[in-house]
Amino acid sequence: MNIAWESSGEGAPLLLIQGLGYGRWGWSPIVSGLAARHRAVSFDNRGIGGSDKPPGPYTAAQMAGDALQVLDEAGIGRAHVIGASLGGMIAQELAVAAPERVGRLVLCCTTPGGPNAVPMPEATIRLFAEAPSLAPEVALRRFIENALGDDPPAGLLDELFALRVANPPDQDGWQAQAAAGMGFQGVEAEIAAPTLILAGTADNVVDYRNAELLAARIPGARVELFEGCGHLFFWERPDECVEILNGFFG
């Protein structure tokens, strides 16, 4: 499996795992701030960007194996791990499959999975139902708007729209990744890594109440919420996010 990855900065290694339909460019607002103190390694999940796009469906556990491959190729024995959305599910699988490879764990805008998780908010369910009747560029803009909070920074919607247009996902790869998210039923073993859980209170994609459910399953986990922010809170408040993350990683 060819997994495209890149590394910037020096210091304790961080592995950043993106979510559905976003390549490693999705960490752009915060990666430089993290790389100022750490070696930040980001990659394209299978199914998107420069990585291979094998037939799906994929699983989060399978994609965690890709993350391990990146650590091996980068010569990293142990790293702090940040996962967003689907990347947070992958990060959970990584933390239980190879606990010796994970230092500290950050789970962003994600879910514990399974029947007891808070379901996807109604706004996103309605948008998925409406999207096939919309022009593709209109649907794309609506999905980006839906992923932002109550009062995003001026110009952010346009910036993200331009980036998504410039980095279109492979449709089969997107579907295969989506299957990994829909099929995630949570991890069976206990996560031992010190864990920080971040979410925006206006998240229309993954209900932020899942943060507390995750924390209840992970001994000692801490939750921090970004008031009024959406699913892409690290795009909306990147400086605050970097400060919290660097403080957690030390």
Residue by residue, pLDDT tens for the chain (250 residues) are 999 999 999 999 999 999 999 999 999 999 999 999 999 999 999 999 999 999 999 999 999 999 999 999 999 999 999 999 999 999 999 999 999 999 999 999 999 999 999 999 999 999 999 999 999 999 999 999 999 999 999 999 999 999 999 999 999 999 999 999 999 999 999 999 999 999 999 999 999 999 999 999 999 999 999 999 999 999 999 999 999 999 999 8
pLDDT in tens, 34-45: 999 999 999 999
d(CA 235, CA 203): 13
d(CA 36, CA 215): 29
Taking each helix axis as running N to C, give the angle between helix 136-146 and helix 122-130, from 0 to 180 degrees, rounded to the nearest 10. 180
- Its sign, for the CA torsion 224, 31, 219, 109, is positive
| Alpha-carbon gap, residue 135 to 149, rounded angstroms | 23
- The boundaries of the domain holding residue 16 are 5-249
Q: How many domains does the chain have?
A: 1
Residue 155 CA, chain-centre distance (Å), reads: 22
Cα 12 from Cα 247, distance rounded (Å): 13
Contacts of 174 (CB under 8 A, 6+ apart): 20, 21, 47, 48
Residue 175 CA to its chain's centroid (Å): 16
| Confidence (pLDDT) at 111 | 98
Q: How far apart are CA 236 and CA 153, in angstroms?
A: 6
Q: CA separation (Å) from 230 to 144, 145, 192, 235? A: 10, 9, 28, 9
pTM over the 0.95 mark: yes
Q: Residue 35 maps to which CATH number? A: 3.40.50.1820
Give the separation between CA 94 and CA 104, rounded to whole angstroms.
12
**What's residue 92's pLDDT?**
98
